[in-house]
Amino acid sequence: MYLLHVHKLHILESPPIQPLDRKSVGLKCNDSVDDVITLPSGRTIRKLDHAPPMNRRTWEAPPRADKLNGVPGRTLSDKHIVAETMYIMKPIIHLGSMCVFGQKSWKPWLISITIEYLSLQRLKSIENLTPQQRLVLSKRSLNLAMYMVRSPFFENYSEKHIRLFLQWFVNSVPLVGPLMRPFLEYMKQWQETYFYLWSV
């Protein structure tokens, strides 16, 4: 929330701090590969014998490519900030609605999927998205499919159809039974273990 509202950063990834992308580490245009050394951390340093004269030295390492080129589309408009805030607050709203309406109620599920859908539609209206932003939005679009295996939709609809399909698959395809029967037996436990998170 702080990064979004104070710095008005772009669509936030999860987790916000991403691992170093070593492929994106670049050099200045006037620096050849022989003039610099790239450390394992990705930082580039210039060799002493290729440094500029003393009176023209900046004492700075060669900048990375992302700092040279800049990152387009870093800020969001007010309506897109509202949409991103909705997405960030979705787990808290969902947990609050579960406390009010109960864990077996459909209302928390409906509230959560509505918030996620509205937020996604607003953010998709942004023009000139960077590849990273498009990747984040595509992941959020795939997360909408996860609602089919979240309670209470899973207990009322998905579980029955998944079990029928897997049972037909086990009976129709030879040698599949020993592999799929444990999945059928533990499907409910796996659903409760791996699909209870609402912001992944």
149-177: pLDDT as tens digits = 888 899 899 999 999 998 898 888 888 88
Q: Is residue 182 part of a domain?
A: yes
Same domain for 144 and 92? yes
Are 176 and 188 in the same domain?
Answer: yes
Is residue 43 domain-resident? no
pLDDT of residue 22: 56
SS3 per-residue string spanning 128-197: CCCHHHHHHHHHHHHHHHHHHHCCCHHHHHHHHHHHHHHHHHHHHCCCCHHHHHHHHHHHHHHHHHHCCC
Q: Are residues 178 and 114 in the same domain?
A: no
Q: What is the pLDDT of residue 110?
A: 94
Nearest-CA neighbor of 12 among 67, 81, 60? 81
- 127 with 173, same domain: the answer is no
In a domain, 185, yes or no: yes
Domain shared by 182 and 135, yes or no: no
Whether 93 and 146 map to the same domain: the answer is yes
Q: How many domains does the chain have?
A: 2
Its domain, for residue 136, covers: 78-150
Residues 112 and 100 reside in one and the same domain: yes
Return the pLDDT at 67.
43
Q: What is the pLDDT of residue 7?
A: 61
| Radius of gyration over every alpha carbon of the chain, rounded to an integer in angstroms | 25
Residue 87 located in a structural domain: yes
Residue 68's pLDDT is 37
Identify whether residues 144 and 83 lie together within a single domain: yes
Asked, for residue 102, whether it belongs to a domain, the answer is: yes
For the chain, which residues score pLDDT lower than 50? 26-31, 64-73, 199-200
The pLDDT value recorded for residue 39 is: 74
146 in the same domain as 82: yes
> How much is the pLDDT for 2?
62
One-letter identity of residue 138: S
**pLDDT attached to residue 13:** 67
Q: Is residue 3 part of a domain?
A: no
pLDDT at residue 195, rounded to an integer: 78
Instruction: Confirm whether 110 is domain-assigned.
Output: yes
The verdict on 94 and 133 lying in the same domain is yes
Q: What is the pLDDT of residue 38?
A: 75
Question: Looking at residue 70, what is its pLDDT?
Answer: 40
Q: What is the pLDDT of residue 78?
A: 80
Q: Is residue 88 located within the same domain as residue 126?
A: yes
Question: Is 32 part of any domain?
Answer: no
User: Which of 117, 135, 150 is the last residue in one of the domains?
Assistant: 150
pLDDT at 27: 42
Residues 96 and 146 in one domain: yes
